[in-house]
Amino acid sequence: MKVIFNGDDFGLTSGVNRGIIRSFREGLLTSASIIAVGEAAQEAISLAKDTPGLDTGLHLTLCDERPLLRPRDLSSIIPSGGRFPSRNHLLKTILAGRIDCREVEAEWRAQAEAVLDGGIRISHLDSHQFVHLFPGLLRVCLKIARTYGIPFVRAAMVGPASLNAGLRRLLQWTGLAFWSRFYASPRLASSVRTIPSMGFLRAGGRLTREALLRALERLPSRTSAAAVEVMLHPGTGDAHTLYTYRHWGYDWKKDLDLLTDPALKEELARRGIQTTSFGEAP
């Protein structure tokens, strides 16, 4: 089996950017997804250009952060204020039939072009809070992938269930895993390439070396895919990121430590598990 270690939120803050670059240069990270609306997105684009071998994707965003387009041009998404709504509010808007997918497409095109205009080749698409798999938004995501020739889209979620992150997170994972398997994945598979993804349940520093190795050992019985993506959120644990996103409850430094852990690298090699990237995926 091959594993893609992907760093989400590249561009969120400078501390996250430093953690991702260090995870690539000193550890197991092979790819990262740029959040084009992040406060340090331009820095991330520059770092990606200056870091040969780092595979780069786009982290589509439609909740929590500020849009690239003017909020008044996204009135069905942002009814007031200057920021995207929460994921739960966004989902309620979608289910109520009040979302204008033309606005979603315009914003996501702007995010893709911001990265492409920086000279970055986009190898894969995923999203902040998995919103690209939401009803209606999946179709827009596929259109973005086709328009810009992006071969991979994050889809099915794999890995064992766990209460490690609490009951609420487990319920979110259960619903998302069911939706991605029976609705999203079949539609994606007919249009783009997909690789199973794990890490949602233990996001933000909750994934340990032991838990990761156990999960990888069990994966062959859960999927026939030749490769799997492990999504992580490495960062330096700087004060600015910790304060600004304190409501997430993340420990970015723990993911950095995991990716740069020599013992993990040795254990993967001992088990015959190789790292790869979306650009090199079978």
pLDDT, tens digit (0-9, with 9 covering 90-100), for 200-253: 878 899 999 999 999 898 877 666 678 899 999 999 999 999 999 999 999 999
pLDDT of residue 148: 97
Please give the pLDDT value at position 153: 94
Contact at 8 Å (CB) between 53 and 29? no
Mean pLDDT over residues 46-63, rounded? 97
Sorting pLDDT into bands at 50, 70 and 90, what band is 116?
very high
Domains and CATH numbers, the chain: 2-280 (3.20.20.370)
Radius of gyration of the chain from its Cα atoms, rounded to whole angstroms: 18
Residue 6 in this model has a pLDDT that exceeds 70? yes
Separation of alpha carbons 235 and 255, rounded Å: 7
267 by Cβ neighbours in 10 Å (0-12 / 13-18 / 19+) ranks as middle
Structure tokens at 29: 């990270």
CA distance 235 to 238: 8
What confidence score (pLDDT) does residue 185 get? 76
Between 100 and 155, the higher pLDDT residue = 100
**% of the chain exceeding 90 in pLDDT:** 72
Q: Which pLDDT does position 158 carry in this prediction?
A: 79
Q: How many Cβ atoms are within 10 Å of 274's Cβ, its own excluded?
A: 11
Q: What is the overall mean pLDDT for the chain?
A: 92
Q: What is the pLDDT of residues 9-23, one digit of tens each?
A: 999 999 999 999 999
- Pick the more confident residue, 199 or 46: 46
pLDDT at 222: 66
pTM: 0.93
Alpha-carbon distances, residue 83 vs 24, 80, 160, 232 (angstroms): 31, 8, 34, 25
Q: Are 34 and 45 in contact (CB under 8 A)?
A: yes
User: Would you state the pLDDT for residue 84?
Assistant: 96
Most confident of 52-61, 88-97, 166-175: 52-61
3-class secondary structure per residue, 70-125: CHHHHCCCCCCCCCCCCHHHHHHHHHCCCCCHHHHHHHHHHHHHHHHCCCCCCCEE
| Confidence band, pLDDT 50/70/90 cuts, at residue 149 | very high
158-210: pLDDT as tens digits: 776 666 667 777 777 777 777 777 777 777 777 888 888 888 878 899 999 99
